[in-house]
Amino acid sequence: MQIYETMKQQAEALAPHMQEDRRDFHRYAESGWCEIRTSSLIAQRLAGLGYEVLTGRDVCRDEARMGLPLKAVLEDQYQRALEQGAVQPWAEQARDGFTGVIGILRCGEGPVIAMRFDIDALGVVEETSELHRPARAGFGSVNRGMMHACGHDGHAAIGLAVAEILMKLRRELKGTVKLIFQPAEEGVRGARAIVAHGHLDDVDYLLASHMGDSQGQPYQVGLSAGETLATSKLDVTFRGCAAHAGMIPEQGRNALLAAATAVLNLHAIPRSSEGETRINVGTLHAGSGRNVICDQAVMELEVRGANTEANRYMEDYARRIVEAAAAMHGCTCDIKLMGAAESMKSDEEMLQLCSRVCRDKLGLLPAPLSSLAGGSEDCSYLMNRVRETGGKGLYFSTLTPCSGPFHSRTFDFDETALTAAVQVFCGMAFCLMGIE
């Protein structure tokens, strides 16, 4: 029991550092596949602590990465990162979208435990008014259009604190710990490439967490038996032919008519009795001028399903609609898979164990087991891979008061919750290693 106490105190002692880390990541928010500065700082820290560190092409398998920005954007971001303090040689390794870091600590016989911390920001313009704490306290994002509006800045900070504590206590540990700092979780683009590299093949237990809004409740840890949604993210481009809309409208091929038809019909895909489904055409950008028949329309859409089958039903139907809508107006179309996740749920025993650890070992208050699920998680690839090889997984929420909804420009969270998350990660690791 001694080790749990020691660890709890260390976690508390690290609270100011975590806040500092979190705010630094927040200030220099980097979106998916562009986490160059972030990755370089994490790698440097892990190396400094004594971890075996994997970076660059050793983290994500090249061709399994989804939804990569254009090369020119990646290069711009690399330069920007250097200006903002990215450290070498790590930054260079993260160039061209090879972000993400894995730190490994081997402590003899025992289970292999992987912990996932995602590190990317979102494409959101952050609020700059004084009402928004990051603005007021001077840690608002300096990268316009990139914002940690989903708490991954906190996740990264948690990961670094966990790394520090586990290293300090390494002599007591029995087994191997892999700390996976995952890139490009937003848009569910990065996890598949980590799995493809084989990093999960020898893992016995996977632990992952996400910030969650405590909504006025006193609970510190959220646990759910529900399943997250499988999802596919598609980018669609309709290409038609421009023509003067007043003079020769019949000579155009109207990509916007195709797109509008697709939008309505996509949302009208029949519900399925096989499980919950979702569809959203999130963005549509079409046309070059008011008096020109629209010759190009680009849309970003996503489908989801309670399970892989329901998601496949949606994706197949969506592809058929898009192709028919294009054909209807003499247009062509191009459909690109930009991201994907499977459905995922925590193992029953892991949920029970976590609940017990929180209460008995850590003095934390877990919420009653819920069956809610909600969104989609890139983590599904990691967890499902671990399961395939006989391992088990746990996904828990780090509950904390939040300002503004997730993904909104006013999102912020109470940083005191970071400590509890560190304690759960470490406590679970001890338990799974059989340390009392």
Give the footprint of a copy of itself on residues 261-300 (CB under 8 A). Answer: 261, 263-265, 267-268, 270-274, 276-294, 297, 300
Of 64 and 298, the one with the shorter C-beta distance to a copy of itself is 298
In the complex, least distance from residue 57 CB atom to a copy of itself, rounded to whole angstroms: 27
Select the residue interacting with a copy of itself from 218, 246, 368, 390 (CB under 8 A).
Answer: 246
Burial track 115-134 (b if 16+ CB lie within 10 A, e otherwise): bbbbbbbbebebbeeeebbb
Site map for a copy of itself, 207-236, x if CB under 8 A? ----------------------x-x-x---
147 touches a copy of itself by CB under 8 A = no
Select the residue interacting with a copy of itself from 168, 320, 336, 356 (CB under 8 A).
Answer: 320
Burial track 319-350 (b if 16+ CB lie within 10 A, e otherwise): bebbeebbeebebebebeebbbbbbbbbbeeb
301 touches a copy of itself by CB under 8 A = yes
In the complex, least distance from residue 371 CB atom to a copy of itself, rounded to whole angstroms: 12
145 touches a copy of itself by CB under 8 A = no
Q: Which segment (156-164, 322-330, 345-353, 412-420) binds a copy of itself by CB under 8 A?
A: 322-330
Report the 10 Å Cβ neighbour count for 95.
16
What are the Cα distances from residue 387, in Å, to 33, 346, 381, 391, 393? 27, 10, 10, 5, 7
Cis peptide, bond prior to residue 89, ω within 30 of zero: yes
CA-CA-CA-CA torsion sign (281, 286, 290, 291): negative
CB 105 within 8 A of CB 177: yes
Non-local CB neighbours of 65 within 8 Å, separated by 6+ positions: 33, 97, 184, 189, 190, 192, 193
In the complex, least distance from residue 75 CB atom to a copy of itself, rounded to whole angstroms: 21
Non-local CB neighbours of 361 within 8 Å, separated by 6+ positions: 1, 4, 427, 430, 431
Of 8 and 189, the one with the shorter C-beta distance to a copy of itself is 189
Q: Which segment (32-40, 98-106, 259-267, 342-350) binds a copy of itself by CB under 8 A?
A: 259-267
By CB under 8 A, the residues from 22 to 41 that bind a copy of itself are none
The continuous run of DSSP H or E covering 3 comes out as helix 2-27
143 touches a copy of itself by CB under 8 A = no
Of 287 and 401, the one with the shorter C-beta distance to a copy of itself is 287
In the complex, least distance from residue 69 CB atom to a copy of itself, rounded to whole angstroms: 14
The continuous run of DSSP H or E covering 198 comes out as none
- Name the β-bridge partners of 31: 121
| Interatomic CA distance for residues 28 and 115, integer angstroms | 24
Non-local CB neighbours of 268 within 8 Å, separated by 6+ positions: none
Non-local CB neighbours of 170 within 8 Å, separated by 6+ positions: 105, 107
Report residue 326 CA to chain centroid gap. Answer: 32
By CB under 8 A, the residues from 343 to 402 that bind a copy of itself are 374-376
Give the residue from 153, 143, 126 showing the smallest Cα distance to 77.
Answer: 143
141 touches a copy of itself by CB under 8 A = no
In the complex, least distance from residue 317 CB atom to a copy of itself, rounded to whole angstroms: 8
Select the residue interacting with a copy of itself from 159, 187, 212, 427 (CB under 8 A).
Answer: 187
Of 216 and 282, the one with the shorter C-beta distance to a copy of itself is 282
In the complex, least distance from residue 410 CB atom to a copy of itself, rounded to whole angstroms: 12
SS3 state of residue 253:
strand
In the complex, least distance from residue 356 CB atom to a copy of itself, rounded to whole angstroms: 27
Of 115 and 259, the one with the shorter C-beta distance to a copy of itself is 259
In the complex, least distance from residue 238 CB atom to a copy of itself, rounded to whole angstroms: 12
In the complex, least distance from residue 303 CB atom to a copy of itself, rounded to whole angstroms: 10
Of 46 and 325, the one with the shorter C-beta distance to a copy of itself is 325
| Interatomic CA distance for residues 226 and 221, integer angstroms | 15
Of 355 and 400, the one with the shorter C-beta distance to a copy of itself is 400
Of 217 and 283, the one with the shorter C-beta distance to a copy of itself is 283
